[in-house]
Amino acid sequence: MPIASTSIFRYRNPSSLLLLRRGAAASFRHLSFVAKHQNPISRKAQNKNLLRAKQTVKHLSSLSPTLPVNHRPLLSATDAVGMVAAAQANFMRVIVEDSRVEDGGGGGGDGDGDAVRVGVELLCVVRAVLKKIKRRVLVGDKVLVGSIDWVDRRGVIENVFSRKSEILDPPVANVDHLLVLFAMEQPKLEAYSLTRFLVEAESTGIPITLALNKSELIDEETRVAWKLRLRSWGYGPVFCSVESKFGLDTLAFILREQTTVIVGPSGVGKSSLINALRSNHPLTNVSSEGNNWFDSILGSKLLEEQRVGEVSIRSGRGKHTTRHVSLLPLSGGGYLADTPGFNQPSLLKVTTQSLAQTFPEVRKLLSANEPEKCSFNDCLHLGEPGCVVKGDWERYPYYFQLLDEIKIREEFQLRTLGTKREGDVRYKTGDMGVKQAEPRLEPKKHRRQSRKRMNQSILDELDDLDDDDSLLDAEGDSILKEIGNENQ
């Protein structure tokens, strides 16, 4: 399947790596201290400090996004590599995938005891400096954890590995499979609605399985007719029924060894299917109820306090509240997101140019004609001379309709925002999943700041960072203290 570079899906460039550890933050603290407190300082020295500060800030913000995905860092006894399985408030549950066990001699990486720690679940906070450089940690991320206390199962997320993929609804990294779920009846399967969902899903570039639930409500004839119809679209649907358990084994088999998000309209049985699949797994019932896990480790009272603290500490500025999502381990390996994904395709990231590629039948027509191509590079397949994608496929009218919708949106964006370049527009997603476009404000890019202002803002940044880091330390310490108290 070709990988589209559009939509809610992004590739990250796994270029160089820079491991940010406490040392870096400490040097910041030092710099800001120098700049702030040594008042009768020569202008020359001050400028020099500012220059150093500036370089450090620049250096920090231009950090490569992440660790390369196959990088195997040298782990100390208190480090591990793991996968974020759940997030709640400031806490992340990380399942250990690789660690080093102290073997007395130090050095080396693969102690025999490794296996014992693989699968251990750690309660982690994220280094404040990662937040500062906007390196958001998502459920599904592969992370480097440091400062681990193996007895109390706590640690600090130090860095994130490159992502294969990233979806925003629900926010999960490294999703490698989307299960598009519809019902045959209640609500009745409808070709246009299904097409919109498939287009949205295809636009992520993530492989898709189409499953049709409530199939016990239809007769064999209807089932066969839909099967043939969908085959002509390029899909081999899995018919299932959560009610009668029909087809669930097939789905469980398809989901093995992958991280899957289920998407589809409301009422089709997404939550029922998630529950049915998780109850297959003895482990999921015990330890993978994300919220219960956090509550049992932290005590729900502490979590409540933590949420209140988040707002008040930061001078009333509300912090982004992450939607809770957990990854449930499946019996055949792999994970399933416990929260269904988009149930209203916005198609916001599909462009007039990328739309055709979200239809498997167009992809097939294009590849069947190779090496011949449409005469125009930017052919929209609307009957242009020399177009190899003829209009004799069932969903052509849908393609046409969607193209119209997207065209209108692009023209609107062009008028209101002055551009349709993706980088200049950002999409805000409200609680209800409604997306709104707004211009991305980049004051540093568009407005020239006076040197004095610029120097001041660097100092502010450094102070902020300083505060943040001590905040994390204080935050971390108080959490650890609380946990200590709880355990006594």
Contacting residue, 204, 213, 288, 306, with ligand GDP by CB under 6 A: 213
Residues shown for the chain: 488
Closest to ligand GDP by CB, 148 or 238: 238
Does 279 interact with ligand GDP (rule: CB under 6 A)? no
Residue 38, H or E segment: none
The distance of closest approach from Cβ of residue 133 to ligand GDP in the complex, given in angstroms and rounded to an integer, is 37
The distance of closest approach from Cβ of residue 108 to ligand GDP in the complex, given in angstroms and rounded to an integer, is 48
Q: Write the CA distances from 76 to 101, 115, 146, 404, integer angstroms.
A: 8, 16, 8, 57
Nearest residue to 177 via CA among 334, 332, 69: 334
Closest to Zn ion by CB, 164 or 381: 381
The distance of closest approach from Cβ of residue 312 to Zn ion in the complex, given in angstroms and rounded to an integer, is 58
Do 121 and 106 meet the contact criterion of CB atoms below 8 Å apart? no
Does 249 interact with ligand GDP (rule: CB under 6 A)? no
The distance of closest approach from Cβ of residue 179 to ligand GDP in the complex, given in angstroms and rounded to an integer, is 12
3-state secondary structure of 373: coil
Q: Write the CA distances from 264 to 75, 108, 210, integer angstroms.
A: 41, 48, 10
CA triplet 208, 214, 218: central angle to 5 degrees? 115
Q: Which does 64 bind (CB under 5 to 8 A by kind): ligand GDP, Zn ion, none?
A: none
Can you tell me the distance from the alpha carbon of 239 to that of 212, in angstroms, rounded to the nearest whole number? 5
| Total site size for ligand GDP, rule CB under 6 A | 15
Do 210 and 180 meet the contact criterion of CB atoms below 8 Å apart? yes
Q: Which does 374 bind (CB under 5 to 8 A by kind): Zn ion, ligand GDP, none?
A: Zn ion
Contacting residue, 217, 254, 425, 471, with ligand GDP by CB under 6 A: 217
Do 199 and 235 meet the contact criterion of CB atoms below 8 Å apart? no
Q: Write the CA distances from 470 to 127, 128, 253, integer angstroms.
A: 11, 9, 47
Q: Which does 389 bind (CB under 5 to 8 A by kind): Zn ion, ligand GDP, none?
A: Zn ion
The distance of closest approach from Cβ of residue 276 to ligand GDP in the complex, given in angstroms and rounded to an integer, is 8
3-state secondary structure of 146: strand
Encoded tokens for 446: 């568009």
Q: Which does 387 bind (CB under 5 to 8 A by kind): Zn ion, ligand GDP, none?
A: Zn ion
Contacting residue, 243, 295, 463, 482, with ligand GDP by CB under 6 A: 243
Closest to Zn ion by CB, 149 or 394: 394
Nearest residue to 198 via CA among 172, 173, 229, 222: 229
CA triplet 27, 30, 33: central angle to 5 degrees? 150
Q: Write the CA distances from 102 to 74, 82, 144, 375, integer angstroms.
A: 13, 18, 18, 64
Contacting residue, 108, 267, 333, 383, with ligand GDP by CB under 6 A: 267
Question: Binding residues for Zn ion, per CB under 5 A?
Answer: 374, 379, 381, 387, 389
Closest to ligand GDP by CB, 243 or 464: 243
Closest to Zn ion by CB, 346 or 352: 352
What spatial distance separates the first Cα and last Cα of the chain, rounded to whole Å? 55
Burial of 151 (0-12, 13-18, 19+ CB in 10 A): exposed
The distance of closest approach from Cβ of residue 199 to ligand GDP in the complex, given in angstroms and rounded to an integer, is 19
Contacting residue, 241, 258, 260, 288, with ligand GDP by CB under 6 A: 241
The distance of closest approach from Cβ of residue 103 to ligand GDP in the complex, given in angstroms and rounded to an integer, is 49
Contacting residue, 64, 76, 78, 272, with ligand GDP by CB under 6 A: 272
Q: Which does 379 bind (CB under 5 to 8 A by kind): ligand GDP, Zn ion, none?
A: Zn ion
Give the bridge partners for 337, in sequence order.
327
Can you tell me the distance from the alpha carbon of 138 to that of 350, in angstroms, rounded to the nearest whole number? 23
Contacting residue, 14, 269, 329, 341, with ligand GDP by CB under 6 A: 269
Positions 328 through 367 that interact with ligand GDP (CB under 6 A): 340
Contacting residue, 270, 278, 381, 409, with ligand GDP by CB under 6 A: 270
List of residues contacting ligand GDP (CB under 6 A): 213-214, 216-217, 241-243, 266-272, 340
